[in-house]
Amino acid sequence: MISRPASPSVRSADDYRDTIEQLLRPLAARSVDTVPVAEALGRQLAADTHAPIDLPVFRNSAMDGYAVRAQDVAVTPVVLPSTGVVAAGDPGLERLAPGTARKVMTGAPVPVGADCVIPVEDTTADADTVRITRGRAAGEFVREPGSDVRTGTELVPAGTTLAPRHIAACAAAGLARLPVFAPVRAVVISTGDELVAAGSTLRPGQIYNSNGIALAAALTANGITVVGVEHSGDDLSQFRRLLHSATAAADLVITTGGVSKGDFEVVREVLIPLGGDFGSIAMQPGGPQGLTVVDGVPVLSFPGNPVSAVVSFEVLARPILRRLAGLGPVPEYELPLLGAVHRSPEGRRQFLRGKLVWKGSRPHAVEVVSGPGSHLVASMAAADVLIDIPAAVTELPAGATVRVWTL
């Protein structure tokens, strides 16, 4: 169960996001899955993992060559009797007699009695002997047990998002399965009688439903598992039914539409009686917002304009969800504006769509690529950042430094 936010009247974007974060915090302690190591890529490790064995597990050769005693090759060239071959995978248990050599392959056990390996390049062999042209000190080209990691040492700490190198270390230590946090599960419910599915023909007044698909993609891209994408018309009982199905299936529900001041605000009408905190956040787009706990599950209610929905996600949810999923922070830059911003609403933080201008491998400026209108969803495809214009700023000259968030 998640409790209600303490204060329902927080209204700057940052304060509102903090309220959302408090509400989502219990999800950090979610349940644990134990998955095969081969399926653990990108999952977040739920417990510290320790090496169950030494690595290397036995003393082995770093080279293809001859195992000898260093003292027997102190003066070179020297010819030694050659006493067989240890291949990788052989037990290699036979002791090496002083004054002899034994061929060993890379990774094969170095016989007891030998203390170094002469690379094959420094040798010539016939059937029974090997001529060694360069000596080696004791220890050279021998990998000692535990020289990589000792039994019981931490391999990967809890909370790590598992990258290929972590998978490699766990597999090398013989760990067959790893404990990882269950993914955060989300359902998206878009609302509005005007929305129809892509592929249908539009009748007058209708538009294609993009919010469900767009938010599902955004959630997925940020490590959240989307378990449902639903659409409700402006019908209270239909929305109510979808809402309770969603809270039964998910850890988080996002709704779009139905939050502003119109006559048919299905989301407000259902959620306010359930304790929903609805109001205006000092940001544009994305001003009207709602936050409710239904059946113990947080429900974020974003506005229905497609750009407002995406910007709400980026600003209010994405940083929190990435932390929950164990992903790194959203990259941010401070960059000069390529052109001027002539008008930004006073008292509201504005997020304009922008595109980075690169110089080699580094961004060195940002340009506005779309108008401020919250319906400009096609134009947003050309953007790769949000430009963050503070609430107090109403215009900016070209060259002014702005903060940008990577989309």
Q: Which burial class, exposed, middle or buried, applies to 92 when counting CB atoms under 10 A from its CB (0-12, 13-18, 19+)?
A: buried
3-state DSSP assignment of residue 93? coil
Query: Which residues inside 147-176 make contact with a second copy, applying CB under 8 A?
Result: 147-149, 153, 155-156, 163-176
We find the least distance from the C-beta atom of residue 272 to a second copy, in angstroms, to be: 17
Query: Which residues inside 36-75 make contact with a second copy, applying CB under 8 A?
Result: 37-38, 41-42, 51, 53, 55-58, 60, 62, 64
We find the least distance from the C-beta atom of residue 314 to a second copy, in angstroms, to be: 9
Query: How many chain residues bind a second copy (CB under 8 A)?
Result: 104
Give the rounded distance of the alpha carbon of 342 from its chain centre. Answer: 37
Q: Is 294 or 307 the residue whose CB approaches a second copy more closely?
A: 307
| Strands, E assignment, 28-95 | 32-36, 49-50, 60-61, 65-68, 78-86
Q: CB under 8 A: which stretch of 24-32, 70-78, 247-255, 299-307 binds a second copy?
A: 299-307
Query: Which residues inside 97-126 make contact with a second copy, applying CB under 8 A?
Result: 103, 105-109, 120-121
- Residue selected from 7, 357, 375, 392 as contacting a second copy according to rule CB under 8 A: 375
Q: Is 208 or 295 the residue whose CB approaches a second copy more closely?
A: 208
DSSP letter (8 states) at residue 317: I
We find the least distance from the C-beta atom of residue 37 to a second copy, in angstroms, to be: 6
Query: Which residues inside 76-95 make contact with a second copy, applying CB under 8 A?
Result: 85-93
376 binds a second copy (CB under 8 A): yes
Query: Which residues inside 180-209 make contact with a second copy, applying CB under 8 A?
Result: 192-195, 197-200, 202-209
We find the least distance from the C-beta atom of residue 75 to a second copy, in angstroms, to be: 25
Return all residues near 286 (Cβ < 8 A) that are at least 6 apart: 13, 302, 303, 308, 309, 311, 312, 315, 316, 351, 374
282 binds a second copy (CB under 8 A): no
Q: Is 17 or 103 the residue whose CB approaches a second copy more closely?
A: 103
Lookup result for tokens 């039914």: 241
Are 130 and 82 a contacting pair, CB within 8 Å? yes
Lookup: tokens for 90: 């052989």
Binding mask 209-248 for a second copy (x = CB under 8 A): xxx-xxxxxx-xx-------x----x--------------
Q: Is 213 or 400 the residue whose CB approaches a second copy more closely?
A: 213
Round to whole Å and give the CA distance between 250 and 228: 9
Query: Which residues inside 345-364 make contact with a second copy, applying CB under 8 A?
Result: 361
We find the least distance from the C-beta atom of residue 305 to a second copy, in angstroms, to be: 7
Q: Which residues of 263-283 are buried (b: 16+ CB within 10 A; e: fewer)?
A: eebbbbebbeeeebbbbebbb
CA dihedral 359, 365, 371, 376 (to 10 degrees): 50
3-state DSSP assignment of residue 308? helix
